[in-house]
Homo-oligomer: A and B are copies of this chain.
Amino acid sequence: MLQMIDRLGQLRGKVLTMANLVEKALDGSVRVLACQDELEARRVLDYEDAINTLEVETDQLATELLALNQPVAKDLRFITAAIKINSDLERMGDLAVNIARSSIRGDHRPMDIDTTEIPEMARRVQAMVRDAVQSFESSDDERAKRVLVSDDGVDEIKNRMFAQLVHGIEADATVASVNVDLIFVAHSLERIADHATNIAEDVLFFVKGLDVRHHRTSIDGKS
């Protein structure tokens, strides 16, 4: 049997491989958004496929580690964090595929995103994902905190975009289909940012032992 430290390194490596694939899938989906290229969309699907396979392997490895090595303290926190991060990464892959799918639906190309805040939103979300992955890679709690702070800005852009896109439809019903797709693109980007936030919270948990989840919000969505 490998030493505990080697097995933890293996687990870390698998999560990082998945995280890098998620970054590629997200970058690909943002390119599909910009150019509606079907070949690129298929590549996003291939990444998701690889991510799904890794998700199952990562869970197996984490469970084996729990069973055979009986870890405690920080090692145990790392393994339970890896189980959760694994699940977040898998969902981020799905959301990248959703963005690619929304972008290549046949009935409304080309889709002009440059008149929207989607490119800015995508840039911010890509930066959050990169920070979340790097905070995991280097156990960097300061970088993890930066991810948490960025989430509010993304939510604000999403809310503005929703309102603008609905008003756009009210002014011209022929854009209904494309604007609803763009609303879902914004929604998917915001969800990816939420999962990046979850990852940052998990990094804070295993590095610092802090649980920073859940702030109460009111029913109208304001904090």
Q: A56-B214, A183-B180 are in contact. Are A80 and B63 (CB under 8 A)?
A: yes
CB contacts under 8 Å to B, within A184-223, are 184, 187, 211, 213-214, 216, 218-221
Shortest distance in angstroms between A22's beta carbon and chain B's nearest beta carbon? 15
- Picked from B66, B84, B100, B221, the residue with its CB within 8 Å of the CB of A219 is B100
User: Cβ of A84: which chain B residues have Cβ within 8 Å of it?
Assistant: 83, 87
**A76 CB–B CB distance under 8 Å:** yes
Task: Report the separation of the CA atoms of residues A205 and B147 in the bound assembly, to the nearest whole angstrom.
Answer: 33
Shortest distance in angstroms between A62's beta carbon and chain B's nearest beta carbon? 8
Residue among A53, A67, A70, A77 with most chain B CB within 10 A: A67
CB contacts under 8 Å to B, within A114-164, are 162
- Picked from B42, B52, B83, B216, the residue with its CB within 8 Å of the CB of A80 is B83
Contact size class for A? 35 or more
**A16 CB–B CB distance under 8 Å:** no
Q: A166-B180, A173-B172, A176-B176 are in contact. Are A52 and B214 (CB under 8 A)?
A: yes
Ranked nearest first, the 4 interchain pairs of A and B with the lowest CB-CB distance are: A173-B173, A169-B176, A52-B214, A70-B70
- Extra contacts, 7 of them, besides A172-B173, A180-B183 (Cβ < 8 A), are A45-B218, A55-B214, A63-B80, A66-B76, A70-B70, A100-B219, A187-B187
List residues of A whose CB falls within 8 A of some B CB.
38, 41-42, 44-45, 49, 52-53, 55-56, 59-60, 62-63, 66-67, 70-73, 76-77, 80, 83-84, 87, 97, 100-101, 104, 162, 166, 169-174, 176-177, 180, 183-184, 187, 211, 213-214, 216, 218-221
